[in-house]
Amino acid sequence: MITKLKLEDLAVRRGGRMLFEGLSLDLAAGEAAALVGRNGAGKTSLLRAIAGLVGLESGTIGFGGAEAAAARADHVHFVGHLDGLKTARTAREELDFWTLWLGGTEAAAREAAQALELVPLLDLEVRRLSAGQRRRLAMSRLLAAPRALWLLDEPMSPLDSTWRERFGAMMAAHLAGGGMIVAAVHDPLPIPARILEIGA
């Protein structure tokens, strides 16, 4: 379990353009950060950099003493626009596979499906799900495989108002349990969060 996320003097360059420089953030267990900024400012790139998918131009990312590769392997969730779901497979197959891959149990997957009201959808192919249902299926991984740090890329965008509220409660419960959240958002998060402006 990691209990800290420390970004120090981060700079990320994409396609020859410096997206941001000198970015720092210190997040402790139970805290959330909201990344704001215009389109293309580098919010997604910062999330991908924390997940270890994008290289840094300079700066360091610390996970409270844990080795970065080990921390990412076991303690980091990444839910973005691309949800990794195969349209030809059923929701159940996809939930079960990703739960196993990310280190969750079958029982936890069942519970997550119930919490996100996915049970009646589980036998449908992913291609039959609406955008909001697909996002809920992707979010079910967050509950099915407990990991400390959630990296969320505009998690609310395809959700209706009921589910935005419920997802807010889900995030609050995660923080109350000692988790951390870094989310790229356009609308304010429904939980208390540090605002970090990117590319200002």
Partner 1 sequence: MSRLGALLRREIVLAWGRGGGPLVSVGFYAGVATLLPLATGPEPARLAAIAPGAAWVALALASLLSLDRLFERDFEDGALDLLTLSPVPLELACAAKCLGQWIATGAPLALAAPLAAIGLGAKPDLAPLIFVCALLGGLAFAFTGGIGAALSLGARRGGLLTAVIVLPLFVAPVIFGGGALDSFANGLPWRPGFALLGAYAASAVALGPLAMAAACRNALS
Where do contacts with partner 1 occur on this chain (CB under 8 A)? 48, 51-55, 72-74, 76-78, 80-86, 88-89, 93, 97-98, 100-103
Measured from the CB atom, is 54 or 108 closer to partner 1?
54
Contacts of 115 (CB under 8 A, 6+ apart): 140, 143, 170
Measured from the CB atom, is 97 or 108 closer to partner 1?
97
Minimum Å gap between C-beta 58 and partner 1 is 15
First and final C-alpha spacing in the chain:
33
Minimum Å gap between C-beta 195 and partner 1 is 26
3-state secondary structure of 155: coil
- Which residues on adjacent β-strands are paired with residue 63? 66
Measured from the CB atom, is 24 or 87 closer to partner 1?
87
Measured from the CB atom, is 83 or 197 closer to partner 1?
83
Instruction: Give the angle subtended at the CA of 25 by the CAs of 41 and 138, to the nearest 5°.
Output: 65
Minimum Å gap between C-beta 192 and partner 1 is 27
| C-alpha to C-alpha distance for 105 and 100, rounded to whole angstroms | 7
